[in-house]
Amino acid sequence: MSQPDLFGAVAQPLPQPDPEAVRARMTDLLRRLREADVMPLTEKELRVWRTVAPQTTRWLPPEERAAMLAEFESEVARLSRRAA
């Protein structure tokens, strides 16, 4: 007697993130940082964003991705200098 396949015979593709949703989320984050005089993110939130931003933006065109990540790091550096 053969055992049934519990996971299905055909692998289902993973859903692709919507570039517009990625763009909107990153634009909101960058606006929040740009408008801040002091770091608006907790240390935990900043650690998460430093991990998530490079992963999330890979769904954008390379030039746009690079620009968003550069602005993110620039704003974090600016706000970190003010805290020191």
pLDDT in tens, 37-80: 999 999 999 999 999 999 999 999 999 999 999 999 999 999 99
Longest CA–CA separation in the chain, Å:
70
CA distance 44 to 23: 22
Give φ, ψ of 51 to 5 degrees: -85, -45
Give the start-to-end residue ranges of the domains of the chain. Answer: 19-83
pLDDT in tens, 54-66: 999 999 999 999 9
